[in-house]
A and B are shown apart, each in its own frame.
Chain A
Amino acid sequence: MLSLHDVQKTYEMGETQVHALRGVSLQLLPTQFSVIMGHSGSGKSTLLHVAGCLDVPTAGTVEYKGRDLTTLTSRERADVRSSEIGFVFQKYNLVGNLTALENVGLPLLLRGKSAKYASARARQALDLVGLADRKNHRPSKLSGGEQQRVAIARSLINEPAMILADEPTGNLDTGTGERILDLLRGLADDDKIVLVVTHNPDIAGMADLLVTLRDGRIAAQQSLEVVR
C-alpha cells in the first residue's frame, strides 16, 4: 500500500509561491485501478511525481512498505524508482537512439544486469505487449500506440509493484487508447498498484478509485468498485 499523508508541494517561481498540492492524503492499494482527474494545474501530475519518488514534497509523508519515501536520499529514491515503480508518460519518453528492445531493457542495464539478460527479458516484455516483431525499431519508426506499448513494456521490466501513468492515452486515438487502458487495467488485476492521472472522463468509468483534484486539494474521492 502507498499512503500519502497531508502532502504539500510548493514551487518557488521567482518571488511567487505556487502551491501545487495543499495537503493531499490518499491510500493506493494493490489490485486497485486508481484514477486521478482534474483540470490542468490542479496538481495531479505533481501528485504522481511525489508518489513516484520523482519529486520530494514540501511537507507531508509518502509511506511505502513502512518507509517514509520523503526522507530518502537521491540515490535511495532512484533505487525505489528502479525496483518498485514503473512509469508511463503521455509523451512515451523513450530514448531516441535506442531500439525498442534496448529501451525496454534499459532499467535492467541500470541495475547492473547483463546485456544478455536484459535483452532476453526485454524480448519477453515486448512479446507481452504484442510488439515482438518491432523490437529492433527505433522510436521514430514506431506509431504512437506502439511507442506507448514499448513504454509499458519498459515499466514492467523490473516487475515493479506500482505503475504510475501520466496521461497514457493523451496522444493516442480512441481505439489505441482503449487497448492501452486495457493493458493497464490488466496490470491492476495482476496485484499491482496502478495510478493513472488523466483528464479524460472516459477513463473514470474503469476506475476502482476516482480522485478529483482541484487547486491542489482533493475535491472528491469515490470508491467505484460497483462500476466494475
Chain B
Amino acid sequence: MKLNLFRLALKNIGSRRTRSWLTILGVLVGVTAVVALLSIGTGVQQAVLQQFEDIGYDIILISPIGGGTQGGRGAVGGFAPGTGQSVRAFSGQSPSPPQTDTSTGGTFSPDNLGNAAANADGNTETAEDLRDALRRAATTSLDTQLLLEQVPQLIEAGTLGTQIQPVSTESTSGFLRVSTPSLDFLASFSSVLGGFDIAEGASFANSIDNQVVVGARSAELLQLAIGDSIAIGDIPFTVVGILSSSGLQDDNAGASEGALSGQGLAQNLGTGNSADLVLRGLTNTDDALFVLNERASEVLAGRSMMSVTITRVGGGAPISETKDAIQAAIGQQEATGTPISIQEVADEIQGTLGMIETVLASIAAVALIVGGVGLMNTMYTAVLERTREIGILKSVGARDGQVLILFLFDSGLMGLMGGMLGLVLGSLLSVAGTRVLGPSLGVGSFAPVIDGWLVTGVLVFSFVLGALSGVWPAWRASRLNPVDALAAE
C-alpha cells in the first residue's frame, strides 16, 4: 500500500513540475552548501592529520617559545635573549631612510636591500627595526647530545634553526628565510622538511664547505642552478642541491606580495602557535635556503633567530613523562623552551579546524532550514489547492493516515530529490574548492571527503527534512472533513 502511495506522490510532484523544481531548488542550495563545507572541512582535517602522521606522533618538538619560568607558549616576547648570540648589522648594507615601497614587485628586489623590507601595507621598517625584531626572536639552542643523555627515553634529537638573512646573487638580492638543520636532524627528521627531497644536485656533502640547498621556489626566483654562488649575509655559498616542490603556496603570499618582511616573520614566529611553526615554518621548504647548522654556527654565528629542537621518543615511552623529563633537562641546561608533542599540536589544529567546520556547517544549515520552510510553504499551498482531491480520495476509501502518508511522501520526495542533486553539486563544488583552497591553506593538494556516512546522512536528512516540513500541511490534509473537502472549488 505504501508503494502505491509512493507512486501517487511521484505523480503529484510530476503534475506540478515548475513549482516542484523551485521547491527542490531551495533544498538543493542548502544541501550543496552543507555537503561542500563538510567534505572540504573533513578533507582539510584529514590532510593536516596526514602531515602529522608523516612527521610521526612519537616526536616531541621543543619550541623556543616560553619555557622555563617565562611566559607561556605564544606570548609575545616569549623568546629568551640569546646567550652571547646577537644579530649583527648586515655588513655592506647601509641603512637607508625609510621608504615606502608599494610596488609589490616580488619577493626579491635590489631596491629592498638595506631598506629592510616594506610590507604590503606600505609600512616601512628600518634596518634597526629589523635588528630589534631579530634580537627579540633570538633564542638559546639546546645541546642535543646532552639532551639525549639527560632524557634516556629519547632516541634521536636534532636542531633546526631559522634565520632571516640578506641574500644576493649576481642578478638579484633580498631577504630570505634560511633554515639551518643539523646533520643529525637531516638524518632523523627529514620528514619534517617534506623528506628533504633533492630534485637536482645532492644534499650536503660535508659541514666544512659553504654549501647551500635551495628550496624550489627560491631557486626559481633567484634563477639558481647547481654550482652557482649565492651570498648569504655576505658569506659566499655554493648551491649543491635544489629541492623538489612541496606543492604548498608561497608562505609569504597573502601577508605580503611585496618584499619579505623580516619583522613580520619575526613577529609571526613570536606570536604564532606551535602548529603554525610546524606547518608553515618547517614543512614549507619551497621558499627557504638550507645551510647545515654546523656550518651556519660558524660562518653565520650570531645570526640565529630561532631554533627548534626535535626529538623522537623511543620504545613506546609515555609522551607526557618524556615531556616532563625534557622540561627538567632544559632547566638543567639553563636554556629555554617548551616541549610540545606532535599529538598536542595535531589536537590543537584539529580542534580549531573542527570549530571552523562547525561554524561553517551551521551557516549552511541555515540555508537548509530556509529550504525546508520553502518546502513547507509549497506543501501548505498544495494542501489548499488539492483540498477537493483530498475529498475525492476520502470518498473512494482513503483513510486519514493514508492521506497523511501521501503528503509526507510528497514533501519527503521533494526533499530527497533536493538532497540527491545537492549531493552531486556539493561534491563537484568541493572537488573544485579543494583545488583552490589546498595550496592557500598550506596543506597542498587534498581530496574532499565524501564518504558513505556523508552520502547516507545527507539523503536521510533531506528526506526527513522534507517530510518534517510537510508534517503540518499533511496533518491538516488528513483531518479534512470529506464533505467539506469535496465542496471546495
Known: A49-B483, A112-B1, A115-B7. A97 touches B397 (CB 8 A): no
A83 part of interface (Cβ distance < 8 Å): yes
Assess whether B11 is interfacial by the CB under 8 Å rule: yes
Tell which of B3, B395, B400 touches A54, judged by Cβ atoms closer than 8 Å: B395
Binds B, one of A72-80, A123-131, A218-226: A72-80
Nearest CB of A to B328, in Å: 78
Q: Give the Cβ gap from B382 to chain A, nearest Cβ, in Å.
A: 12
Given contacts A55-B483, A93-B388, A93-B486, contact A111 B397 (CB under 8 A): yes
Nearest B-chain residue to A53, judged by Cβ: B482
- Whether B4 lies near A87 (C-beta < 8 A) is no
Cβ contacts B251-292/A at 8 Å (1 or 0 each): 000000000000000000000000000000000000000000
B1 in contact with A154 (CB, 8 Å):
no
* B396 at interface by CB-CB < 8 Å: yes
- The one of A52, A94, A102 that contacts B392, using a Cβ cutoff of 8 Å: A94
Q: Is the CB of B8 within 8 A of A109?
A: yes
Q: What chain A residues lie within 8 Å of B392 (beta carbons)?
A: 93-95
Check A121 for interface membership: any CB of B closer than 8 A: no
* Interface SS majority for chain B: helix
- Give the residue of B1, B3, B14, B389 whose beta carbon is less than 8 angstroms from that of A95: B389
Q: Please give, as numbers and ranges, the residues of chain B lying within 8 Å of A81 by CB-CB distance.
A: 394-397
In the complex, what residue of chain A is closest to B398 when comparing beta carbons? A110
Check A98 for interface membership: any CB of B closer than 8 A.
yes
CB of B399 within 8 A of CB of A75, answer yes
Interface centre among B15, B393, B397, B481 (most CB of A within 10 A): B397
Q: Which residue of B lies closest to A158 (CB)?
A: B397
Partner of B11, one of A52, A75, A98, A158: A98
A89 at interface, CB cutoff 8 A = yes
A46 to B, closest residue via Cβ: B483
**Which of B4, B14, B388, B486 is the one whose CB lies under 8 Å from A109?**
B4
Q: Taking the complex as formed, is A31 at the interface, i.e. its CB lies under 8 A from any CB of chain B?
A: no
| B226-273 with Cβ < 8 A to chain A | none
Please report which residues of chain B, range 96-127, place their CB below 8 angstroms from some CB of chain A when the two chains form the complex.
Answer: none
- Interface size class on chain B is 20 to 34
Bitwise interface map of B from 1 to 24 toward A, beta carbon under 8 Å scored 1, else 0: 101100110011011000000000
Q: Which residue of A lies closest to B485 (CB)?
A: A54
Inside 8 A of B1's CB, which chain A residues have their CB? 109-112
B402 within 8 A of A: yes
With most chain A CB atoms within 10 A of its CB, the pick from B391, B392, B402, B483 is: B392
Per the bound structure, the CA–CA distance linking A170 and B7 in Å amounts to: 33
Question: In the complex, are the beta carbons of A78 and B4 less than 8 A apart?
Answer: no
Closest residue on chain B to residue A102 by CB atoms: B11
Residues in A with CB closer than 8 Å to B7 are: 109, 115
Residue among A74, A93, A110 with most chain B CB within 10 A: A110
**In the complex with contacts A89-B486, A115-B7, A75-B400 CB distance below 8 A:** yes
- Is residue A107 contacting chain B, with contact meaning CB distance below 8 A? yes
Residues of B within 8 A of A87 (CB): 395-396
Tell yes or no: B72 within 8 A of A by CB: no
- On whether the beta carbons of B397 and A107 are closer than 8 Å, the reply is yes
A159 to B481, CA, bound (A): 25
Contact check, A97 vs B393: say whether CB atoms are below 8 A apart: no
Also in contact, A115 and B395, with CB within 8 A (given A54-B483, A98-B11)? no
Q: Given A54-B482, A93-B486, does the pair A110, B395 have CB atoms closer than 8 Å? A: no
- Which residue of the partner chain B has the closest CB to A111? B397
- A122→B7 CA distance, assembly (Å): 17
- B397:A83 contact, CB within 8 angstroms: yes
Contacts of B388 in A (CB 8 A): 93
- A176 CB–B CB distance under 8 Å: no
Considering only CB atoms, which chain B residue lies closest to A112 in the complex? B1
Q: Per-residue 0/1 for A50-70: is the Cβ within 8 Å of any B Cβ (1 yes, 0 no)?
A: 001011000000000000000
Q: How far is the CB of A12 from chain B (nearest CB, A)?
A: 13
User: Cβ of A110 and Cβ of B483 under 8 Å apart?
Assistant: no
Give chain A residues whose Cβ lies under 8 Å from the Cβ of B201: none
Say yes or no for B401: interface residue by CB 8 A criterion: yes
- 3 cross-chain pairs, A with B, having the tightest CB-CB distances, nearest first: A82-B397, A97-B15, A112-B1
> What are 21 A-B contacts with C-beta separation under 8 Å?
A49-B483, A54-B394, A75-B401, A78-B397, A82-B398, A87-B395, A93-B395, A93-B486, A95-B389, A96-B389, A97-B11, A98-B11, A102-B11, A107-B396, A107-B397, A109-B1, A110-B4, A110-B396, A111-B1, A115-B4, A115-B7
